Structure 1
């Protein structure tokens, strides 16, 4: 087995400046956030730690797409694409909070701008570009400047990509816990393809790959942590943010996307980790994430209703360090 290179996980300089198959947020949301900070402060701390430039070359993109010649409502074949990638991700303070005026109450929204660029790890080919904002929705005050109850979802993420999709995901407060994160299993397989399906229809997901667990890619995130621990790295603290378009958010797509492979839901879990190299005493920030976008195409087997389509999870993961 290839020896683990500790430099893959180290920052380039200095210390930091500041039950599951398809739904990675459910069990995590059962945990309770720290009570030592106000809701606004908890999200502010997460945003402060997120600011800066991140790089990771351990990314994987796993996506099923309609096979050549298939139609949106056919009982067609699919093509499974599995590709490694490298990624840069930058977060910048957007400036003074935006004031949402509501008459008897006002909301002050602090934001981070982000820019994501993804490249094929082997060829350097550009694969994805995305920009948007992370927003702290916690601060709501009345006309006497008195704090009002925290909204159910107090963090938001907007984003746009040139495929013709825009997202609005919302989350409850970040969760802060000592030690390493408990990263759950997920599945890239569609949860319901109908019946009777052709024998071996989902076999592309089962083809062994020595670099990635195709059917459960979160296993790679856990493996990264296990390899680090074996080389003397310790996760001191983890902040977890769980975003979902189903939390009063939305995904909007151009007509071509809606017709051919509609994106219907997006979930994203970020684990922001404080890491210490016990060999050197150096501390640095690490970011792990898993994202699932549900794509709807191909009629379920045994169904004739053109709206009863298979849901295909599009999964991306990565482990990154702040530069």
Structure 2
């Protein structure tokens, strides 16, 4: 073994200097800017939602729930804030890139169903050291910051440390976070990163048929895909046509008797198989499309190890229909389409699936039952949709700001990340 000192593969970031970085880094999130919408004769969004049934309580036996599913259309807007946001960590400086988002969703009757706002943050490429040729590290988001003679004196650091000292370097475990406010009474915080990228001209693999993690029926409801579904086929199982009292496993008290309504649901444009596995809509929307590339972002409020995200509920939601977890997958895709002039052009498409785990009432074994609330949609930028295929914009019934006559014009203010 060599007695020479080993060279560490972990090197500090670039030294932070006054007024650096000169601008924000958005990473893969730079592809999100703009307004994304559904279009005439295009695919619709769809949600599946299990809710406590009227008159029930947390002591009600498993199975008494109200199920609703709907088609919807959406207006999802992303706005980049062109100012890096500084987090001071002593030995490190982190500069986040912030994108505000706001979404509005209406049903097939043009009634408002959901609205939400929040922010996506690019936290930095979770690799080190900084690389000049990395597309997501220039401008850099992480810097090292040594102590100086001035900081030691100003912050009363001696005798703990002297000038020029530097602690361990922080490597972000996640490159993306999403925070959002849902008006039902839940605040979410999800973290993750780009999970897959492909420029091989293939469509993304959204999910296998009847893959349990993507179904609107969870194992805690007594669901067993191997037993209750037809492997490799979208054909509706024959047991779904039987009366509740004839279901195996206990008749009206069987698991099948409780969740057969999800298979037989046919309202508001929603029906089988999408009420059971909503992301089949995403797969079907991609049929016959020619793909150039795609990037998959995966975010979650729970992780196997390390710092977690969060779902925080107000009192009523926490007590009667607790939001316990949220998972979000988003595909940013480049596809080829034929324009009105007959020419082929490349446009962007955004697809997403988000699964929110509700918990309410006890299971048949006394445990808590998990009820997946799932949303899926396929969207394109409004400017890429021909005018005759565009749908009316969605406007929330918000109170208008009252303008003051003669008030000064607004001025853009830039952030200044000084030493103090």
TM-score, scaled relative to structure 1? 0.79
Could you tell me whether the CA contact under 8 Å between 1:243 and 1:269 is conserved in 2?
yes
- Structure-1 residue corresponding to 2:38: 56
Distance (Å, rounded) in 1 between the aligned partners of 2:265 and 2:358: 24
Task: Give how far 1:72 is off.
Answer: 2.2
1:214 equivalent in alignment to 2:275: yes
Task: Give how far 1:302 is off.
Answer: 2.9
- Structure-2 residue corresponding to 1:79: 66
Instruction: Say how many residue pairs are matched.
Output: 271
Distance (Å, rounded) in 2 between the aligned partners of 1:182 and 1:65: 30
Q: 1:137-156 counterparts in 2 under 5 A? A: 137-138=123-124, 139-143=141-145, 148=169, 150-156=171-177
Task: Give how far 1:73 is off.
Answer: 2.9
1:243 equivalent in alignment to 2:299: yes
1:258 equivalent in alignment to 2:286: no
- 2:26 is aligned, of 35, 39, 44, to 44
1:291 equivalent in alignment to 2:350: no
Could you tell me whether the CA contact under 8 Å between 2:194 and 2:295 is conserved in 1?
no
Could you tell me whether the CA contact under 8 Å between 2:70 and 2:270 is conserved in 1?
no
1:182 equivalent in alignment to 2:168: no
Task: Give how far 1:149 is off.
Answer: 5.6
SS of corresponding position for 2:198: strand
- Structure-2 residue corresponding to 1:4: none
- Structure-1 residue corresponding to 2:109: 123
- Structure-2 residue corresponding to 1:157: 178
- Structure-2 residue corresponding to 1:16: none
**Residues 70-120 of structure 1: CA deviation (Å, up to 9, x unaligned):** 012311511110111000000001231111111111111111000000001
Distance (Å, rounded) in 2 between the aligned partners of 1:299 and 1:155: 35
Higher relative contact order (CA 8 A, sep 6+): 1
Distance (Å, rounded) in 2 between the aligned partners of 1:66 and 1:59: 23
Distance (Å, rounded) in 2 between the aligned partners of 1:207 and 1:215: 10
Could you tell me whether the CA contact under 8 Å between 1:90 and 1:115 is conserved in 2?
yes
Could you tell me whether the CA contact under 8 Å between 1:73 and 1:297 is conserved in 2?
no
Distance (Å, rounded) in 1 between the aligned partners of 2:351 and 2:259: 28
**Residues 220-262 of structure 1: CA deviation (Å, up to 9, x unaligned):** 1100001xx1xxx311110110010003100000010000000
Structure 1 residue runs without a partner (length 5+): 1-42
Could you tell me whether the CA contact under 8 Å between 1:46 and 1:174 is conserved in 2?
no
Could you tell me whether the CA contact under 8 Å between 2:71 and 2:270 is conserved in 1?
no
Which stretch has the larger CA shift, 129-138 or 188-197? 188-197
TM-score, scaled relative to structure 2? 0.61
- Structure-1 residue corresponding to 2:81: 94
From the two aligned structures, give the one with the greater strand fraction. Answer: 1
SS of corresponding position for 1:259: helix
SS of corresponding position for 2:75: strand
Task: Give how far 1:175 is off.
Answer: 2.9
Moved over 4 A (4+): 146-149, 194-197, 208-212
- Structure-1 residue corresponding to 2:369: 310
Task: Give how far 1:141 is off.
Answer: 1.7
SS of corresponding position for 2:318: helix
Distance (Å, rounded) in 2 between the aligned partners of 1:92 and 1:172: 20
**Residues 246-302 of structure 1: CA deviation (Å, up to 9, x unaligned):** 031000000100000000000000001011115621221100000000000111013
1:205 equivalent in alignment to 2:262: yes
Task: Give how far 1:140 is off.
Answer: 2.3
Distance (Å, rounded) in 2 between the aligned partners of 1:205 and 1:116: 27
Task: Give how far 1:44 is off.
Answer: 3.1
- Structure-2 residue corresponding to 1:37: none
